[in-house]
Structure 1
Amino acid sequence: MRVLLSIKPVHVANILSGIKIFEFRRRIFARRDINTVLIYSTKPVGRFVAEFDIADIIEDDPERLWLSTENGSGITKGYFDAYFAGREKAYALRIGELRIFSEPIVPADVIEEFTPPQSYMYVAGRGEDIRRQQQLPLL
Structure 2
Amino acid sequence: MSAFPQPAQPSLFGDDGPLRDTREPVLMSLNPVYYDLIWAGEKTYEFRRRFLTGQSVRWYVYLTGPVGRLGAVIDLGPAVVDAPEQIAEIAERTRAGNGASVFEYVRDLDQAFAIPIQRVAEYPGMPLEQLRTELGGFHPPQGYTRLRNHPDLLSICEKVRADSVRREMTVPGH
TM over 0.5: yes
> Percent identity between the aligned chains?
27
Runs of at least 4 residues off by over 6 Å: none
Distance 2:142 2:44 in 1: 21
Gaps in structure 2 of 5+ consecutive residues: 1-23, 149-153, 168-174
Say whether the 8 Å CA contact 1:21–1:74 is kept in structure 2.
no
TM-aligned CA distance change 1:19 to 1:45, over 3 Å? same
Q: Is the 8 A contact 1:56 1:95 kept in 2?
A: no
SS at 1:37 equivalent: strand
Q: Which residue of 1 aligns with 2:21?
A: none
* Higher-Rg member (1/2): 2
Provide the aligned length of Structure 1 versus Structure 2: 135
Aligned twin of 1:62: 84
Residue 29 of structure 2 corresponds to 6
Distance 1:50 1:75, change over 3 A: farther
Aligned with 1:48: secondary structure?
strand
* Structure 1 position 34, deviation (Å): 5.6
TM-score for the superposition, normalised by structure 2? 0.66
Residue of structure 2 aligned with 1:116, choices 140, 144, 147: 140
Q: Quick one: which amino acid aligns to residue 130 of structure 2?
A: D
After superposition, the Cα gap between the structure-2 partners of 1:11 and 1:66, relative to the gap in structure 1 and judged at 3 Å, is same
Q: Pairwise mapping of residues 1-139 of structure 1 onto structure 2 (< 5 A)?
A: 1-29=24-52, 35-73=57-95, 76-101=98-123, 103-110=124-131, 112=135, 113-124=137-148, 125-126=154-155, 127-132=157-162, 135-139=163-167
8 Å contact kept, 1:22–1:73: no
What is the one-letter code of the residue matched to 2:161? Answer: R
- TM-score normalised to the size of structure 1? 0.81
Matched position secondary structure for 1:28: coil
